[in-house]
Amino acid sequence: MLGAQAVLPKGIGLPELMTALRRVLAGEQLHPEPAEDASEHRLTRRETEVLQLLAAGRDPQQIARALGVSTHTVRDHIRNVRAKLGVQAAELPYPHRERNRRRARRRAFHRP
């Protein structure tokens, strides 16, 4: 058995979780029905590219260079992704931010 057998909401209660677990163990797959307005939330090809590059640890400037667009355009795509997916900035993958924080701490530690 490969892949997800169930998709459950975050705030599910224990009784619902146990029922879902029993259903999955019985061989059933539990996946929510797509929202009727799912097309509104569909990402464009470019938004998907930007999101993948963010997840790979690229910062907006690097993404702009890789895609041949301006940083402003990349930030617009990021804003669109956030709006379509209903997520806050902190919920998007920004590995470069943590990397930049570590670099800043190292530089501050090694200053005379």
pLDDT digits (tens, 9 = 90+) for 7-35: 887 778 888 889 988 988 898 888 776 55
Domain that holds residue 6: 1-32
pLDDT digits (tens, 9 = 90+) for 45-95: 999 999 888 888 888 899 999 999 999 999 999 989 888 888 776 666 665
Same domain, 22 and 55: no
Higher pLDDT, 49 or 107: 49
Domain harbouring 64, CATH code: 1.10.10.10
Same domain, 24 and 47: no
Give the per-residue SS3 of 30-96.
ECCCCCCCHHHHCCCHHHHHHHHHHHCCCCHHHHHHHHCCCHHHHHHHHHHHHHHHCCCHHHCCCHH
pTM (two decimals): 0.50
